[in-house]
C-alpha cells in the first residue's frame, strides 16, 4: 500500500517517529498523481517536484528542531483552487482567473503551513464553486475514482476525488450549499463543514459570503477533527470570524454515544430518496442505536423552501462578489474591445462559463429595483424561519441525521442538462448553510453499482464536537474502503 493509503494522522505519526521522511510522503503523493490523475483530473495545478522537495526539506528540519509538533507536520495536502496561495496559480477553475497568481495566502492555508503541511497542488472544482458535479470547471471535469463514468460530486469534487484516489493525504474544500459534504459522500470519504465563522474566509474567493465555509476532507473522522483543529481560528481579517471558546475538536474522538439524542427528520426520508441510500442510512442508524444513542423521528418544517431561498441568496451574493472580475487588475482580459465598458462586458462574457453567468444573471435580477423585496428580502425572511425550525429541533436533539444526497453519484453529463434537477440534489445539505450549522459526512456503504453512500450528521451551531463524537462512534463499526483505482 502507498503511504497515501494511510490516514493523515497515521502518516504524521510515522513521520514523527522518523519511519518515513517528509520527502518520501510528498513523493508518494506525486506518485499517486502520476498514476491516476491523467484519468481522474483531481488537480488544476500540481507544484513542481523541486518546490515540493524544497518545502519537504524545510518541514523535515522544522520537525527535527521542534518547530512543527502537531499531528499533521510533514503530511502532504491538496488545496481547493478557490483558496489563494501566494505564488501559486489560483484559478477557481475559471478561465477568468486562468493566469492569477495571488500575492497572499488564505488564512486557513496559512494555519496549515504553520502546522507543517506540505502543499502538493490545487484541486479542481466547479467554476467559482457553482455546481454539484465538478463538471463546470474550465479545466475539464473530474471523474469519480470509484467509477470514472460517474461524477465525483461538487463543488469540491477535486479535493474529494484526490483523497479517495490517494493523490494526497488530505485536502481542504469549501462548502456553500453542500460542496464538501456531497462530494465526500459520492467519493466515499469524510468531510466537515464547520459552523459559519469557525474557519476564516480571508483569502477564500467568495461565492456566497454569508454561506461559505472552508473545511477538511480526509479518510476518517480523526483526520477531519485534527485538520479542523489546525485550520480553525479567530481572524480579525474576516469580519464574520467568530472567537470560539473551544477549538479542541479532537477531544471529541470518543467511542461513546450513550444517551446521545439523534433525530431523523421525516421530510428527509420521503419521496425522491433512493431506496438503497435510505437502507444504508437506516442500517447506520441501527449501529448508533446499538451503541446507546436515543433515536427518534420528528418533523422538520419548511424543508421545501430551503432550495429556493438558497438560490436567491447565493445568486444575489455571487452577482455582487463576482463584480470584481473585470479584466482590470488581474486575470483574463479580452483581446479586442471598444472602450472601457465594452472591455468589461467582453472580458466577463468570455471569461465566465454558462453556470456562472446563469447565477450572476439571476442574482442581478433578484437584487434589481422592483424585485429586491419580492425575492431577496423574502428569501432572507425565509432563512430566518428555517433557522427557527432548526433551533426548535436542537432543543430536543444533539444530532440530526440525513442523507448527504438523494442518490449516489450520477453519470457524467446527466446533471448539467437540467439545472433545476441539479439544484434539487442539494436538498439535504443546503439548510445547514442557511442556518450556519456544522455538518459531517461519513461513508456508510455502497449501492448495487458499487458507488459510495454517505451519512450526514448535522449539529447545532458551535457543537461540532457532538457530530464528531457520533461520527467517530459510528466509524468504529466499519473499515475504511479504498477504491479500486488505488489498489
Residues 6+ apart with CB under 8 A from 125: 80, 81, 82, 92, 93, 134, 137, 154, 155, 156, 157, 158, 159, 179
In this complex, which beta carbon is closest to other proteins, that of residue 218 or of residue 461? 461
386 in Cβ contact with 305 (< 8 Å): yes
Helix (H, G, I), strand (E, B) or coil at 409: coil
In this complex, which beta carbon is closest to other proteins, that of residue 77 or of residue 437? 437
In the bound complex, what is the minimum distance in angstroms from residue 168's beta carbon to other proteins?
A: 27
In the bound complex, what is the minimum distance in angstroms from residue 323's beta carbon to other proteins?
A: 7
In this complex, which beta carbon is closest to other proteins, that of residue 99 or of residue 296? 99
Residue 80 falls in the annotated catalytic set: yes
What is the DSSP secondary-structure string of 103-154?
SS--HHHHHHHHTT-EEEEEE--SGGG--SSS-S-TT-PPPBTTBTTB---S
In this complex, which beta carbon is closest to other proteins, that of residue 287 or of residue 305? 305
The active-site residue out of 42, 94, 155, 200 is 155
In this complex, which beta carbon is closest to other proteins, that of residue 10 or of residue 317? 317
In the bound complex, what is the minimum distance in angstroms from residue 187's beta carbon to other proteins?
A: 28
In angstroms, rounded to a whole number, what is the distance separating the alpha carbons of residues 324 and 168? Answer: 32
In angstroms, rounded to a whole number, what is the distance separating the alpha carbons of residues 130 and 98? Answer: 17
Q: CA torsion, points 23, 28, 30, 31, in degrees to nearest 10?
A: 140
Closest to 8 (Cα-Cα) out of 112, 144, 136, 85 = 112
In the bound complex, what is the minimum distance in angstroms from residue 471's beta carbon to other proteins?
A: 23
Q: Name the DSSP class of 22.
A: H
The active-site residue out of 80, 143, 465, 466 is 80
Residues 6+ apart with CB under 8 A from 18: none
Cell of 46: 500540481
Residue 179 falls in the annotated catalytic set: yes
The active-site residue out of 179, 241, 319, 405 is 179
In the bound complex, what is the minimum distance in angstroms from residue 427's beta carbon to other proteins?
A: 13
Active-site residues, by number, are 80, 155, 179
Amino acid at each position: 500500500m502507498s503511504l497515501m493509503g494511510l490516514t493523515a494522522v497515521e502518516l504524521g505519526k510515522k513521520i514523527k517517529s522518523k519511519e518515513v521522511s517528509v520527502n518520501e510522503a510528498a513523493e508518494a503523493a506525486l506518485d499517486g498523481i502520476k498514476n491516476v490523475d491523467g484519468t481522474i483530473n483531481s488537480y488544476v495545478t500540481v507544484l513542481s517536484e523541486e518546490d515540493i522537495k524544497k518545502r519537504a526539506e524545510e518541514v523535515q528540519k522544522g520537525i527535527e528542531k521542534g518547530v512543527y509538533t502537531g499531528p499533521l507536520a510533514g503530511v502532504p495536502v491538496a488545496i481547493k483552487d478557490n483558496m489563494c496561495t501566494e505564488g501559486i496559480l489560483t484559478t477557481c477553475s475559471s478561465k477568468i482567473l486562468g493566469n492569477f497568481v495571488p500575492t497572499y495566502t488564505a488564512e486557513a492555508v496559512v494555519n496549515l503551513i504553520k502546522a507543517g503541511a506540505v502543499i502538493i497542488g490545487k484541486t479542481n472544482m466547479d467554476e467559482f464553486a457553482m455546481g454539484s458535479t465538478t463538471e463546470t470547471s474550465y479545466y475539464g471535469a473530474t471523474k469519480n475514482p470509484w467509477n470514472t463514468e460517474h461524477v465525483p460530486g461538487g463543488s469540491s469534487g477535486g479535493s474529494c476525488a484526490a483523497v479517495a484516489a490517494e493523490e494526497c493525504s488530505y485536502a481542504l474544500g469549501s462548502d456553500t450549499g453542500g460542496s464538501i459534504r456531497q462530494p465526500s459522500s459520492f467519493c466515499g470519504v469524510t468531510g466537515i463543514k464547520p459552523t459559519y465563522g469557525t474557519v476564516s474566509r480571508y483569502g477564500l474567493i467568495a461565492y456566497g459570503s454569508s454561506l461559505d465555509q472552508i473545511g477538511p476532507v480526509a479518510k476518517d473522522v480523526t483526520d477531519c477533527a485534527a485538520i479542523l483543529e489546525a485550520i480553525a481560528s479567530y481572524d480579525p481579517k474576516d469580519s464574520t470570524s467568530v472567537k470560539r471558546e473551544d477549538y479542541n475538536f479532537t477531544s471529541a474522538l470518543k467511542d461513546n454515544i450513550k444517551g446521545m439524542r439523534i433525530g431523523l427528520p421525516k421530510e428527509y426520508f420521503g419521496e425522491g430518496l433512493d431506496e438503497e441510500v435510505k437502507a444504508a442510512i437506516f442500517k447506520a442508524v441501527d449501529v448508533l442505536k446499538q451503541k446507546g444513542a436515543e433515536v427518534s423521528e420528528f418533523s422538520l418544517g419548511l424543508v421545501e423552501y430551503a432550495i429556493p431561498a438558497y438560490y436567491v441568496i447565493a445568486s444575489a451574493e455571487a452577482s455582487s462578489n463576482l463584480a470584481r472580475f473585470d479584466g482590470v487588475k488581474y486575470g483574463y482580459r479580452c483581446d479586442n474591445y471598444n472602450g472601457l465598458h465594452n472591455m468589461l462586458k467582453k472580458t466577463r462574457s468570455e471569461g465566465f462559463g454558462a453556470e456562472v453567468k446563469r447565477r450572476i444573471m439571476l442574482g442581478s435580477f433578484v437584487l434589481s429595483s422592483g424585485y429586491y423585496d419580492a425575492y431577496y428580502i423574502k428569501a432572507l425572511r425565509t432563512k430566518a424561519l428555517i433557522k427557527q425550525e432548526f433551533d426548535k429541533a436542537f432543543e430536543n436533539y444533539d444530532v440530526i441525521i440525513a442523507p448527504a444526497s438523494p442518490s449516489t453519484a450520477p453519470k457524467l453529463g446527466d446533471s448539467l442538462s437540467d439545472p433545476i434537477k441539479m439544484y434539487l440534489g442539494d436538498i439535504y445539505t443546503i439548510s445547514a448553510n442557511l442556518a450556519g450549522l456544522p455538518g459531517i459526512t461519513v461513508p456508510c456503504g455502497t449501492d448495487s453499482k458499487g458507488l459510495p453512500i454517505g451519512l450526514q450528521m448535522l449539529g447545532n451551531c458551535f457543537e461540532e464536537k457532538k457530530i464528531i463524537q457520533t461520527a467517530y462512534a459510528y466509524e468504529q463499526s466499519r473499515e475504511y474502503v479504498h477504491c479500486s483505482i488505488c489498489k
